[in-house]
Amino acid sequence: MPEEKNYHMTAQQFRQYGRAVVDWIADYYEKIETFPVLSQVKPGEVRKTLAPKAPGKGEAFADILRDMDKVMPGITHWQSPNFFAYFPANASGPAILGDLLSSALGVQGMLWASSPACTEVETHVLDWLVSMLGLPEKFLSTSSGGGVIQDTASSASLCAMLAARERVTRYVSNRQGCRGGLVAYTSNQAHSSIEKAAMVSGIGLDNLRLIDVDGNFAMRPDLLARRIQEDREAGLVPFFVSATVGTTSSNALDPISSIGRTCQQHDIWFHVDAAMSGTAALCPEFRYVQQGVELADSYTFNPHKWMFTNFDCNCFYVANRKTLTDTLSILPEYLRNSATESGEVFDYRDWHIPLGRRFRSLKLWFVIRHYGVEGLQYHIRRHIAMAHQFAEWVKEDSRFELAAPVPLNLVCFRHRGGDESNQRLMERLNQSGALYITHTRLNDRFTLRFCVGQTNTEQRHVLNAWRRIQEEAAELK
Amino acid sequence: MPEEKNYHMTAQQFRQYGRAVVDWIADYYEKIETFPVLSQVKPGEVRKTLAPKAPGKGEAFADILRDMDKVMPGITHWQSPNFFAYFPANASGPAILGDLLSSALGVQGMLWASSPACTEVETHVLDWLVSMLGLPEKFLSTSSGGGVIQDTASSASLCAMLAARERVTRYVSNRQGCRGGLVAYTSNQAHSSIEKAAMVSGIGLDNLRLIDVDGNFAMRPDLLARRIQEDREAGLVPFFVSATVGTTSSNALDPISSIGRTCQQHDIWFHVDAAMSGTAALCPEFRYVQQGVELADSYTFNPHKWMFTNFDCNCFYVANRKTLTDTLSILPEYLRNSATESGEVFDYRDWHIPLGRRFRSLKLWFVIRHYGVEGLQYHIRRHIAMAHQFAEWVKEDSRFELAAPVPLNLVCFRHRGGDESNQRLMERLNQSGALYITHTRLNDRFTLRFCVGQTNTEQRHVLNAWRRIQEEAAELK
């Protein structure tokens, strides 16, 4: 036995260093607007400041924390109120502290039995969200379905596709492997994760039909129905449709009701991906975006995007949990236990790809309780109102035009000067450090995206951003 | 625009509540031994203490934190020094605080460009680990390969299988879907995640050969070679072999060298799963467990099991990163950027299933720097020494017998009284709350597993556990 030593941080040290980190974070948020939003480093610039080899002897915590100074230049500040890029990945105090408790408890919720609270709080909070969002009751754990937290919508959509694959092949694909003939559908504006799911699951990209969209970038249900018909006539088996509530590119809203009816008619699994925009349904006046969701077999949205819950926290619902668990369950001897055998509990390891899982519902529970439904609704409404205000400014400036409808919090717009002007405008704004926006292509034209969803974004940030955009536009040749 | 309000936690409140949570955690660790290790709740018992509906109005943080009292009875204490169940999922102060910084920064590392430090620190620390563990240089980012953090070994092994599938089909499976004919191999003692990967990836369980093991539960390379030959002669395509360094059931060590040579000979992707036991390679004297790993195409181990880094933190290495990224890459317009186009950077979204990813390397960086290589080695050696001591005690007690070799920190043993005695013994120990152990079946006999790997486990905990086992054994009729 080696001599008695102890390299661990004691509880007393944890109190001291923990406070230092909490203060570091509070300081960071107080000065976050002083940093350039988009990191200005070149490739390799952060790495070359780091020690080339791991230290042989342990270092003082103060030195480790001080080295965050080496990291910070390489941070793009997703929590800056001047972050308008991509979709948000917002956070909040209660989420960060709930997640801290999760890290410290360090439980594995792979089975109900391996830490019952991890499963039960998750099931409970996901049931809360069903009514908070006006989702169908079949998604409740007390019904035939239920919800689970996954890392990302990419993983959730993959699981939906897998369950659909198994349902249509009567669980033969799991045993014998895929043998072709299955066809999936989504719009050509859907998130890349649907393509990735088709690759991963053995379906193949060639068997994913990218249905064309209407002038608002929403899937055309008539073309979907026609393509399904053609595929059936060709002897293929349509098995999965993914519709999007708020595409990443332009926030387009696929017509869920009519797509859902087509799926129902052909007995096709209907998945709804509302990764960011699902959060809008917290407000009854925005629930129209998911009209028809009662036809869905599965549904997913990310509190880690727009609901103040730090990454990772994706919510995935199924109407029939047995299909999902029959698809993903493997029960080796070392995980057998009486609770599982009783059938009275959920073992969430059977609801997703990973086996291990952390207590992610704590942060979500903390967020909902800290804000209350009222506080969440207030901030979502404000984000949407600010985006609509921004869209008005765009419309009023003759140099610019809107490139897509603005149902919620994403504004797609462009300078009338053409692709190169827009690209240059974006690069100059981002290099200025004052704000961060990203782009997409719509109708094959370079289009700027301005998404309002960061926790601390206020009117002044949106106004400043618009002024900067106008100033840079004035500089354009 | 709704009237100006603000439901967010201010930086000042964050300081105050953050300290309260830090103290809560320190208090928890100080009294952790007073809780029953295995939660004693019945199904539904935690849920029924929770509010049936989400609150309309926000609640005070003190009330939210106080409600952790409702959660705690449902916690199985994975961080208790008396936790000897499953494999550990240990944590430490530096890991928890590094993870807290990650939650607070809230950056998305999907692309290098979306927060460069998130990618560069990760690449850097994973390069550190290559030398710390004596892994082959081809896994270095400066070579043809590289490492990435994934959530779990389940996901990493799935990615390995996918890359193998694409390599052997020349990327046709991704496009056209799986069409059968591919065969994978692992031992009948391998982790269930390999079976799950075969299901998910469209290969199918029937096409995963579970090779028989020797008396030490290690894969028989002669049977593997023979089966590969037979499959080839039958016109099938062997494409993937997964060997295990330390099986979950009994910590068996597959003979990596000879399995690797067989794979090399047949041009089969060779994956090595060292989920827990890989950590032992921090100590040169235990590196023999991975002898032959230089033949591997991919390798995975979990710092979140036995390396003091709280979940989730899996490290996944490939010898040829291009095969992996060619397998998983999809680049939509809204993610295009000049850094990606330059080819000078890693975009980790192409190295795994999810798109979004948090800054997980911070906690790993903090752990390595806090402990130093010396501190990590010290604690790993001590865990192994304590397990060996426990195994000696088992051997000296005529009522018990060892059920498998004890190369590292897992002791498989049983009472000589038969399956029912062992099951009763385990249940009584676990119900006592004094310790938590789990079981497996070896040679079709119920076998107790005692794994030493919790951060704070000291000799006295192991000694107490053994005394309790002896006491309960004396009560067995």
Q: Where are the alpha helices (DSSP H) in A169-320?
A: 172-176, 192-200, 221-233, 256-266, 303-306
Find the mean pLDDT for residues A447-465.
98
Instruction: State how far the Cα of B101 lies from the Cα of B97, in Å rounded to an integer.
Output: 6
Residue B2 above 60 pLDDT?
A: no
Minimum CA–CA partner of B162 in chain A = A200
Asked if B123 has any chain A CB less than 8 Å from its own CB, the reply is: yes
Of A44, A89, A353, the CB nearest to B155: A353
Of B1, B2, B93, the CB nearest to A9: B93
Chain B residue numbers with beta carbons less than 8 Å from the beta carbon of A175 are 204-206
Residue at token pair 């290559």: B130
Q: What number of C-beta contacts closer than 8 Å exist between A and B?
A: 538
Find the mean pLDDT for residues A381-394.
98
Residue A331 above 70 pLDDT?
A: yes
Q: Kindly report, residue by residue over A420-447, the tens digit of the pLDDT.
A: 999 999 999 999 999 999 999 999 999 9
Find the mean pLDDT for residues B48-54.
97
Contact residues for B380 (Cβ-Cβ < 8 A; gap 6+)? B279, B280, B282, B283, B286, B306
Chain A residue numbers with beta carbons less than 8 Å from the beta carbon of B361 are none
Q: Kindly report, residue by residue over A184-203, the tens digit of the pLDDT.
A: 999 999 999 999 999 999 99
Contact residues for A217 (Cβ-Cβ < 8 A; gap 6+)? A189, A247, A249, A250, A252, A404, A442
- The ranges assigned to domains in chain A are 25-92+372-477, 107-358
Nearest-neighbour CA in chain A from B281: distance (Å) = 15
Instruction: State how far the Cα of A114 lies from the Cα of B348, in Å rounded to an integer.
Output: 31
Q: Which pLDDT belongs to residue B341? A: 85
Q: Which pLDDT belongs to residue A2? A: 56
Pairing state between β A182-187 and A146-150: unpaired
Task: Give the CA distances from residue A39 to residues A162, B105, B107, in Å, rounded to whole numbers and listed in that order.
Answer: 38, 13, 11
Q: Is the CB of B75 less than 8 angstroms away from the CB of A386? A: no
Instruction: State how far the Cα of B209 lies from the Cα of B230, in Å rounded to an integer.
Output: 12
Chain A residue numbers with beta carbons less than 8 Å from the beta carbon of B372 are 7, 54-59
Best residue in A64, A130, A309, A314 to probe B by mutation, most B CBs within 10 Å?
A64
Q: Which of residues 274-303 of B touch A (CB under 8 A)?
A: none
Amino acid at the residue A38: L
Of chain B, the percentage scoring pLDDT greater than 90 comes to: 95
Nearest-neighbour CA in chain B from A424: distance (Å) = 13
Residue at token pair 């903390």: A366
CATH architecture of A25-92+372-477: Alpha-Beta Complex (3.90)
- DSSP class per residue in B140-205: STTTT-EEEEES-HHHHHHHHHHHHHHHHTTTHHHHH---S-EEEEEETTS-HHHHHHHHHTTS-G
Residue A4 above 80 pLDDT?
A: no
Residue B331 above 90 pLDDT?
A: no
Q: Which of residues 398-427 of A touch B (CB under 8 A)?
A: none
Higher pLDDT, A336 or A257: A257
Under the banding of pLDDT at 50, 70 and 90, the label for residue A322 is very high
Chain A residue numbers with beta carbons less than 8 Å from the beta carbon of B304 are 356
Say what angle helices A93-105 and B93-105 make with each other, to 10 degrees.
160
Asked if B228 has any chain A CB less than 8 Å from its own CB, the reply is: no
Find the mean pLDDT for residues A303-321.
98
Best residue in B69, B128, B178, B251 to probe A by mutation, most A CBs within 10 Å?
B178
Q: Is the CB of B39 less than 8 angstroms away from the CB of A115? A: yes
Say what angle helices B192-200 and A153-168 make with each other, to 10 degrees.
70
Q: Which pLDDT belongs to residue B1? A: 60
**Which stretch of DSSP H or E encloses residue A188?**
none
Q: Is the CB of A132 less than 8 angstroms away from the CB of B54? A: yes
Minimum CA–CA partner of B61 in chain A = A370
Residue A46 above 60 pLDDT?
A: yes
Minimum CA–CA partner of B204 in chain A = A177
Q: Kindly report, residue by residue over B414-438, the tens digit of the pLDDT.
A: 999 999 999 999 999 999 999 999 9
Of A79, A204, A370, the CB nearest to B9: A370
Q: One fold for both A25-92+372-477 and A107-358?
A: no
Find the mean pLDDT for residues A69-90.
98
CATH superfamily of B366-475: Aspartate Aminotransferase, domain 1 (3.90.1150.10)
Chain B residue numbers with beta carbons less than 8 Å from the beta carbon of A333 are 249, 439-441
Six-digit token string for B378: 């010290």
Q: Is the CB of B91 less than 8 angstroms away from the CB of A104? A: yes
Instruction: State how far the Cα of B116 lies from the Cα of A352, in Å rounded to an integer.
Output: 29
Contact B242, B232 (CB under 8 A): no
Nearest-neighbour CA in chain A from B477: distance (Å) = 22
Best residue in B6, B108, B314 to probe A by mutation, most A CBs within 10 Å?
B108
Minimum CA–CA partner of B10 in chain A = A93
Q: Is the CB of A200 less than 8 angstroms away from the CB of B162? A: yes
Chain B residue numbers with beta carbons less than 8 Å from the beta carbon of A44 are 120, 344
Q: Which pLDDT belongs to residue B339? A: 87
Q: Is the CB of B200 less than 8 angstroms away from the CB of A368? A: no
Of A14, A71, A339, the CB nearest to B25: A14
Q: Is the CB of B104 less than 8 angstroms away from the CB of A123? A: no
Q: Kindly report, residue by residue over B353-378, the tens digit of the pLDDT.
A: 999 999 999 999 999 999 999 999 99
Q: Kindly report, residue by residue over B153-200, the tens digit of the pLDDT.
A: 999 999 999 999 999 999 999 999 999 999 999 999 999 999 999 999
Asked if A73 has any chain B CB less than 8 Å from its own CB, the reply is: yes
Q: Is the CB of B22 less than 8 angstroms away from the CB of A15? A: yes
Nearest-neighbour CA in chain B from A126: distance (Å) = 10
Asked if A325 has any chain B CB less than 8 Å from its own CB, the reply is: no
Q: Is the CB of B120 less than 8 angstroms away from the CB of A74? A: yes
Asked if A343 has any chain B CB less than 8 Å from its own CB, the reply is: no
The residue among A229, B51, A76, A264 whose CA lies nearest residue A243 is: A264
Contact residues for A46 (Cβ-Cβ < 8 A; gap 6+)? A70, A71, A73, A74, B116, B117, B120, B121
Q: Is the CB of B353 less than 8 angstroms away from the CB of A196? A: yes
Contact B133, B281 (CB under 8 A): yes
Q: Is the CB of A116 less than 8 angstroms away from the CB of B23? A: no
A107-358 placed in CATH 3.40.640.10: yes
Q: Which of residues 198-217 of A touch B (CB under 8 A)?
A: 198-207
Chain A residue numbers with beta carbons less than 8 Å from the beta carbon of B120 are 44-47, 50, 74
